[in-house]
């Protein structure tokens, strides 16, 4: 594992003093962790569910920091939470997925954190909306808050899938592009909802160059009052970390870098050719648009569209390009073409 790789582990929620101490001490014995996580106030969908122990649990978390010398991270959802967290000198907070979806709450938290030296981890919002995630990070940055991280915990799936949330990896990748200096930590526990998928998601996060993992662990998950199905024992967590393949950046291997550069140069040429060809194609689409306008002919010609799909899918070698992918590209091109012809048709000047 790279020395800067961040591991955050601990139970979903603080339940009682014994649970906190047993979990922290078992984790301390099994692996090196950078933060001990545990929620004090839990955002639950129904009020009858376990909503966290409340601020009395902060005393136990403070003891973890002192007795085990591990910084603690807990969730803050309001300025009241922040006030209590700061009072107990907790080193880090995460802003939960439901809170990030509400800019009023985020701003309230930013204002109460401002000027304090506490690390802030911003989870993605439950909805797959990168703007809400970016916006929350911008609020912290604008307030001059220093140690800001992002946590990718997956998105509401909208349809039934095998996991609790859908990763939508392209969203954290875009976030990394927008904020190259902000480290992204993956939370495979809340993405998967079940312990059997945690390894596969963690490996993917490593392969996508994420900077760390936040994994729920409980000394006895059977007893957990929240997220029982997804919590690992400290031993299981140790095994998982051992099984993961922490790949290299490649920077230390000159032969690899030369071969990579050669292949990338070829890809660059093809990308520019692709752009030229698309521009050319759209010029033709526009000409057809004008022709249709002059002759007052409808834009969508279903027969032609069917033929395009059939012939292109038949032409493509499926060993090299999948049908699903090609279909998606054709659909995008067709949508753009219709849009352009629509503009031409309805342009009155």
Give the residues lining the site for Mn ion (CB under 5 A).
12, 227
Measured from the CB atom, the residue of 39 and 289 that comes closer to ligand PEP is: 39
With CB atoms as reference, the residue minimizing the distance to ligand PEP is: 96
Residue number, 121 or 344, with CB nearest to ligand PEP: 121
Q: Which of 43, 114, 161, 273 binds ligand PEP (CB under 6 A)?
A: 43
The yes or no reply on residue 40 touching ligand PEP (CB under 6 A) is no
Q: CB-wise, 125 or 289, nearer to ligand PEP?
A: 125
Chosen residue from 81, 153, 218, 238 binding ligand PEP by CB under 6 A? 153
Tokens of 104: 């009023």
Examine residue 77 and tell whether it contacts ligand PEP (CB under 6 A): no
Question: Which of 7, 9, 12, 120 is close enough to bind ligand PEP by CB under 6 A?
Answer: 12
What is the closest distance, in whole angstroms, from the C-beta atom of residue 255 to ligand PEP in the complex? 42
Which residue has 């990338």 as its token pair?
A: 264
Distance, first Cα to last Cα, the chain: 63
Estimate the share of the chain in helix, then strand, then coil, as percent rounded to the nearest 5.
55, 10, 35
> Measured between alpha carbons, how far is residue 341 from residues 236, 301, 302 in Å?
58, 12, 15
Residue closer to ligand PEP, measured from CB, 123 or 285? 123
Q: Which of 44, 33, 32, 13 is nearest to 91 (CA)?
A: 33
CB of 217 to ligand PEP, least distance (A): 12
Phi, psi of 273 (to 5 degrees): -65, -40
Q: Which is nearer to Mn ion, 231 or 337 (CB)?
A: 231
- Does 33 bind ligand PEP (CB under 6 A)? Our answer is no
**Of residues 30, 24, 31, 96, the one with CA closest to residue 62:** 24
Site map 227..246 versus ligand PEP, x via CB under 6 A: --------------------
20 counts as binding ligand PEP under rule CB under 6 A: no
Please enumerate in sequence order all residues whose Cβ is within 8 A of that of 100, keeping only pairs 6 or more positions apart, or say none: 106, 122, 123, 124, 125, 132, 133, 136
Q: In this chain, which of 8, 36, 39, 57 binds ligand PEP, going by CB under 6 A?
A: 39
Please state the closest distance from residue 146 (CB atom) to ligand PEP, in A.
Answer: 22
**123 binds ligand PEP per the rule CB under 6 A:** yes
153: partner contacted, choices ligand PEP, Mn ion, none (Cβ within 5-8 A by kind): ligand PEP
Residue placing its CB nearer to ligand PEP in the complex, 190 or 238: 190
Place of tokens 């033929």: 307
12 closest CA partner among 260, 232, 330, 282: 232
Six token digits for residue 179: 């904020």
Contact partner at residue 81 from Mn ion, ligand PEP, none, CB < 5 to 8 Å by partner kind? none
Q: Long-range contacts: 161-169, Cβ < 8 Å, 24+?
A: 162/197, 163/191, 163/192, 163/193, 163/194, 163/197, 164/190, 164/191, 164/192, 164/193, 164/194, 164/230, 165/190, 165/191, 165/192, 165/193, 166/128, 166/191, 167/191, 167/201, 167/204, 168/128, 169/204, 169/208
Q: Which residues bind ligand PEP (CB under 6 A)?
A: 12, 39, 43, 96-97, 123, 153, 190
């Amino acid at each position: 594992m790279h020395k800067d790789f961040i591991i955050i582990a601990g139970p979903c929620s603080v339940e009682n003093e014994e649970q906190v101490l047993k979990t922290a001490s078992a984790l301390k014995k099994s692996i090196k962790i950078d933060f001990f996580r545990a929620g004090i106030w839990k955002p639950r969908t129904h009020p009858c569910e376990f909503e966290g122990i409340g601020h009395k649990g902060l005393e136990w978390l403070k003891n973890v920091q002192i007795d085990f010398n591990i910084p603690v991270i807990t969730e803050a959802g309001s300025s009241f939470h922040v006030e209590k967290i700061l009072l107990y000198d907790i080193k880090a907070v995460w802003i939960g997925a439901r809170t990030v979806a509400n800019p009023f709450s985020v701003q309230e938290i930013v204002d109460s954190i401002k000027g304090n030296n506490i690390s802030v981890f911003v989870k993605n919002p439950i909805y797959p909306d990168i703007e809400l995630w970016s916006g929350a990070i911008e609020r912290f940055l604008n307030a001059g808050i220093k140690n800001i991280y992002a946590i990718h915990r997956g998105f509401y799936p909208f349809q039934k899938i095998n996991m609790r949330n859908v990763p939508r990896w392209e969203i954290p990748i875009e976030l990394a592009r927008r904020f190259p200096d902000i480290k992204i930590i993956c939370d495979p526990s809340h993405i998967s909802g079940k312990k059997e998928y945690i390894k596969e998601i963690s490996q993917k996060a490593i392969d996508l160059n994420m900077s760390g993992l936040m994994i729920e662990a409980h000394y006895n998950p059977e007893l957990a009052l929240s997220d029982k199905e997804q919590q690992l024992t400290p031993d299981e967590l140790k095994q998982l970390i051992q099984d993961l393949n922490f790949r290299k950046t490649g920077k230390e291997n000159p032969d690899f870098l030369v071969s990579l550069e050669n292949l990338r140069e070829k890809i660059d040429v093809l990308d520019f050719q692709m752009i030229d060809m698309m521009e050319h194609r759209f010029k033709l689409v526009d000409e057809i648009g004008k022709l249709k306008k002059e002759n007052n002919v409808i834009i969508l010609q279903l027969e032609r569209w069917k033929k395009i799909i059939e012939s292109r899918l038949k032409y493509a070698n499926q060993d090299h390009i999948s049908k699903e992918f090609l279909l998606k590209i054709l659909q995008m091109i067709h949508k753009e073409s219709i849009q352009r012809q629509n503009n031409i048709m309805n342009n009155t000047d």
